[in-house]
A and B are shown apart, each in its own frame.
Chain A
């Protein structure tokens, strides 16, 4: 049971825009801790896509964007490409557990 809640799966056609939600509570996202997003491609290590809610590391296309409001955050992917098919995880910090925490992951399928 993951601390942060994500939809198990989302899908979209090439070129479309999808969003992945990440819902938390007052002990993490709502406590103003940042939300970060990672992409896991099959057989590869996780890669940070968005850090501190809405910032992209160099090399990450601007098709990826993040936002946060209240106790939730979202990752948006526009102009979907086949190579975006992967698992996506949100991450924050839980002050009641003193743990860094992840969402359960969302599998993105490009139709």
Chain B
């Protein structure tokens, strides 16, 4: 059974940077793409970006204006989300999720448990 285990809750001050991890298990790490999706309080789901664990290629939403990056460590089967210049509007629950491919037809079939992040002064 595919498992994605995320790092714990974070509290950050405005302007700081965030790093959230997502450790995959029970499948071949390089066989699935990993996406990051967030949900702000009272808001809907928002796609942030995708990483291919095989070679590390990434694609991000332009809405985050270059503040986002994703990396992976194949030795630990872990993907990382980095978000810089945090602002209060970044307060959200962040999820990692797998997809079988990177086409526009794909869906997110396995999800991590979510990492709550609060940005507050």
Contacts and interface: CB of A to CB of B under 8 A. Distances in A.
B98 to A, nearest CB: 11
Contacts of B45: 38, 46, 89, 91, 102, 105
B104 interface: yes
Contact of B109 (A34, A57, A97, A100): A57
B62 interface: yes
A51 B104 contact: no
Interface residues of B, number: 24
A45 B115 CA distance: 10
Interface in B79-119: 95, 97, 103-109, 111-114
A45 B109 contact: no
The 10 tightest CB contacts between A and B, nearest first, are A93-B104, A36-B107, A45-B111, A102-B45, A100-B47, A104-B44, A51-B107, A105-B44, A34-B105, A33-B104
Interface residues of A, number: 26
A99 interface: yes
A99 B112 contact: no
Interface in A87-111: 89, 91-93, 95, 97-105
B73 interface: no
A52 B105 CA distance: 7
B95 A45 contact: yes
Contacts of B111: 45-47
A48 interface: yes
